[in-house]
Amino acid sequence: MKPAPFEYEAPSSVEEALRLLADPAIETSLLAGGQSLVPALNMRLARPERLVDLGRIEGLDAIRDENGALCIGAMATKRSIERSALVAQKQPLLHEATGHIAHPQIRNRGTLGGSMAHADPAAEYPAVAVALDAEFRVIGPSGERRIAAADFFVTYLTTALAEDEILLEVTFPERPAGEGVGFAEICRRHGDFAMAGAAATARLEAGRYQDARIVLFGVDATPVRALSQEERLRGEVPSEALHAEVAAAIGAGLEEPPGDQHASPEFRRQLARTVSKRALEAAVARAAKA
Ligand SMILES: Cc1cc2nc3c(=O)[nH]c(=O)nc-3n(C[C@H](O)[C@H](O)[C@H](O)COP(=O)(O)OP(=O)(O)OC[C@H]3O[C@@H](n4cnc5c(N)ncnc54)[C@H](O)[C@@H]3O)c2cc1C
């Protein structure tokens, strides 16, 4: 199918993009890499009257270090994130997760901001953002504001962004020394959206968990943080048996995993156990070496 007709604008500044977005006379959508929006237009699931392409705004794709924090512009492509030595060094979890997103052709065009704003429950970046306490810098007609990752993902394909706001940048705070990270997902074929996945971080002190974080994706409408199991790990000595118990409790504790042609809710619970355990074990193994 072909999209319904639409107007196209490619402003060269954020101010101009905001002005176009705020026009109440014409229904407008922002266009980033187009890897989610264009299929939706082609299937006529989305029918905006105008697209405002963010691709010509200079500087929106920057990847920079700001006093130890990693700041990534909304228009940075997944490919540039995957290839960035700064990302690999400062945020290995983000780096590792990027390699799991779709295929190289999609990563060449798809952006960090597009993935966050689209908020697909099976997407890797929202879970990574929650695991790493990322912060979202957004701008609207009344100025800028910052939104914590924990508050950004509201429900299925819905974020805290207002219709007249633009996501400018995502900041990933500097990681504590000695932290290990782990990532695991299960898909039917490499490059497909995951049926379930998990991102984890761990820190050890004298061989015991000082803290841990486990965030799942693909198992609910938004990323799911396993708060009670994170708490349970604190002070414990990592072991296979402990990780199996924690992973089982995470699977059992999921509220309502979705069911579709790829995985039933019960199968997703099983997958959630498997990816939680794998991600946690990878994080601990790296923390032990850090
Ligand atoms: C075959 C296929 C497989 C895929 N597999 C995966 C996968 O495994 N994991 C995964 O995470 N993704 C996957 N994707 C989606 C892909 O990662 C997209 O790149 C991503 O979802 C959207 O990014 P984009 O830059 O293309 O955004 P677009 O498609 O251009 O936009 C997506 C939405 O975000 C809004 N938006 C974009 N930028 C901003 C901004 N700065 N501020 C406010 N709103 C904004 C747009 O208005 C639109 O509503 C897949 C896509 C395809 C086609």
Q: What is the CATH number of the domain that holds 283?
A: 3.30.390.50
1, part of any domain: no
pLDDT at 282: 98
Residue 167 Cα: closest atom of ligand 1: 42
Q: For CA atoms 83, 87, 92, 94, give the dihedral sign.
A: negative
Residue 35 Cα: closest atom of ligand 1: 26
Ligand 1 centroid to residue 117 C-alpha, Å: 8
Ligand 1 centroid to residue 199 C-alpha, Å: 20
79, part of any domain: yes
Last residue in a domain, options 125, 151, 172: 172
Ligand 1 centroid to residue 207 C-alpha, Å: 40
242, part of any domain: yes
Last residue in a domain, options 137, 156, 172: 172
pLDDT at 289: 82
Smallest CA-to-CA distance from 229 within 245, 248, 246 is with: 246
Examine the domain organization and report whether 114 and 193 are in the same domain.
no
56, part of any domain: no
Ligand 1, from 18, 38, 45, 115: best to mutate by most atoms within 8 Å of Cβ?
115
Examine the domain organization and report whether 231 and 258 are in the same domain.
yes
94 lies in which domain range?
Answer: 63-172
pLDDT at 110: 98
pLDDT at 191: 87
Examine the domain organization and report whether 147 and 191 are in the same domain.
no
55, part of any domain: no
Residue 194 Cα: closest atom of ligand 1: 8
Last residue in a domain, options 172, 202, 223: 172
Examine the domain organization and report whether 111 and 185 are in the same domain.
no
- When divided into structural domains, the chain yields a total of 3
Examine the domain organization and report whether 162 and 259 are in the same domain.
no
pLDDT at 256: 86
Examine the domain organization and report whether 194 and 281 are in the same domain.
yes
pTM, entire model: 0.97
Examine the domain organization and report whether 197 and 99 are in the same domain.
no
pLDDT at 288: 80
Are 30 and 166 spatial neighbours (Cβ–Cβ below 8 Å)? yes
The residue ranges of the chain whose pLDDT is under 70 are: none
Q: What is the CATH number of the domain that holds 136?
A: 3.30.465.10
Examine the domain organization and report whether 92 and 146 are in the same domain.
yes
54, part of any domain: no
pLDDT at 36: 97
Are 171 and 26 spatial neighbours (Cβ–Cβ below 8 Å)? no
Residue 32 Cα: closest atom of ligand 1: 30
Ligand 1 centroid to residue 118 C-alpha, Å: 6
Distance of alpha carbon 159 from its chain centroid, rounded?
A: 12
pLDDT at 160: 98
88, part of any domain: yes
Smallest CA-to-CA distance from 136 within 157, 116, 154 is with: 116
153, part of any domain: yes
Ligand 1, from 20, 27, 30: best to mutate by most atoms within 8 Å of Cβ?
30
Please tell me the residue having the least CA distance from ligand 1 atom 40: 167
pLDDT at 290: 74
Examine the domain organization and report whether 111 and 154 are in the same domain.
yes
